[in-house]
Amino acid sequence: MTAADWLNRNVSRLGGDKKTAKTPTAAADAAMPAPAPARSTRERLAATLRQKEEALSPRVLRRTLQELKAIVDPQVSEVEGGRRAHGVAGWYAGATQDERRDMWLLMSEQFVADAQKTQLAQAQFARAVGTPDEAVAEVRYRRATVSPRRRLLQRFSVFPEGIRFLVDLRADLLPHLKSDKRLQALDVEMEYMFSTWFDVGFLELRRISWDSPASLIEKLIRYEAVHDIKSWADVKNRLDSDRRCYGFFHPRLPDDPLIFVEVALVDRMTDSITPLLDESADTTDLSKATTAIFYSISNTQAGLRGVSFGDSLIKRVAETLKEEFPKLKVFATLSPIPGFRSWLAKNAGAMIEKLDVKTRATLGRAVGFEPPLANHFLAAADAAPALDARSPVRQMLLRCAAEYLGRAVLDGKPLDAVARFHLGNGARVERLNWAGDPSVKGMKQSYGLMVNYLYDLKRLDKHRAMLAQGQIPASSEVEGLYM
């Protein structure tokens, strides 16, 4: 009997009936992080009996640890280590959520750097600073701080499906980090390893078209995170002749885009998502296309959270498009403002206080209450689609949106997640678009407002430097709306 077979048999016997994991109720329960077990794995490994909140018995936990240690046994080859890792991965596939968490805890708590060796190497390095031995001491210190956990992850990556296994494992783990801080060591190690393995230098930029395999197009439908794809006709429209879709692919995950971007080729900067998603709209004459609009960017792998691809993807796509269409001069997004409505609900009163007496009185007359309070303004804003260009409520919403995008920061970074992404990539806030997304989702996020972020390829570094200094890059049009 193999070790993997032993684990499967004994975990089923000692850890509970895993068949319940396949029921809808159990699947829903698995999606919710359970309370963290009270005992550390060190205490559980030394115990005899399993407590009720623990999935694996001490005996099975000890055997599982032996299996994990066997993977990184220095006496075995990479191939043998990968084979052993594959066996543990097979057990993991059939384990319940709580049993999986026990394995995460073992990986996090039992594969740590040797504290004594680390302290000794650190002291030696401190003494060597400024001497000829400094470089050698630094190397020794760096090696001492490398945990066996890193070697364990490397061995899991050896077998063919190993990278996919690790990415999915981290996706399972992420929802539990807040409830169990002990898992953070494993999470940080995985993020570090993924940042290396998924460096953009190892990724392939690939165009996704209507001629791509149906299985790949189905993944676009599944992974689309900005504007839901409702049908095959919808996705065909997004892959039409005046559109482009590109994704980054990793050689070990050849059939899954890690991130993809949808682009519309048009003759001017687009101010509304509606015509772009209109399946009956005429295609653009590509000979007249001067502008590339990035209207949807979707990350597909939850397990790669913290690994950034977006900056490189947009640059690579812009360069690719310029080669195919030399007339393209403008590269911009048409983006949602997902955090605006919730932010305004908390800050509407402060925004009204910033108005001068005359403007506040005008707003009060428009909402029917003088002086206007936050609830009066927010109630009137719910009628955003019906407000004309001269409406004081509409003008106030635009000014608040500009304030939110241009001045609302947290720890020196834009508060809005989409703004944080694009501005961090070197774009600038170019233009606010009224009724850019009149859908239910658009109203719920931002009263229908959308924003263009401009990617001026010659000024990306300048804009990043501005952001690092606490200044959000924005056009004069947007700055003119600041309160």
By annotation, the residues acting in catalysis are 335, 422
How far is the C-alpha of 312 from the C-alpha of 379, rounded, in Å?
42
Residue 61 near residue 45, CB atoms below 8 Å: yes
Residues 6+ apart with CB under 8 A from 265: 242, 243, 244, 284, 286, 289, 291, 292, 293, 321, 325, 328
Residues ≥6 apart with Cβ < 8 Å to 294 = 261, 262, 263, 314, 317, 331, 332, 333, 334, 455
User: Is 314 in contact with 425 (CB distance < 8 Å)?
Assistant: yes
Cβ distance 248 to 259 under 8 Å? yes
Whole-angstrom distance, CA of residue 116 vs CA of residue 70 = 23
Pick left, alpha or beta for residue 448 (phi over 0 → left; psi -120 to 50 → alpha; otherwise beta): left
Task: Transcribe 327-379 into DSSP letters.
Answer: T--EEEE-B--TTHHHHHHHHHHHHHHTS-HHHHHHHHHHHT-SS--HHHHHH
The Cα-based distances of 112 to 58, 69, 127, 173, 417 in angstroms read: 20, 12, 25, 18, 34
**Phi, psi (degrees; rounded to nearest 5) at 207:** -80, 140
d(CA 404, CA 415): 8
d(CA 290, CA 265): 7
For residues 7 and 64, is the Cβ–Cβ distance under 8 A? yes
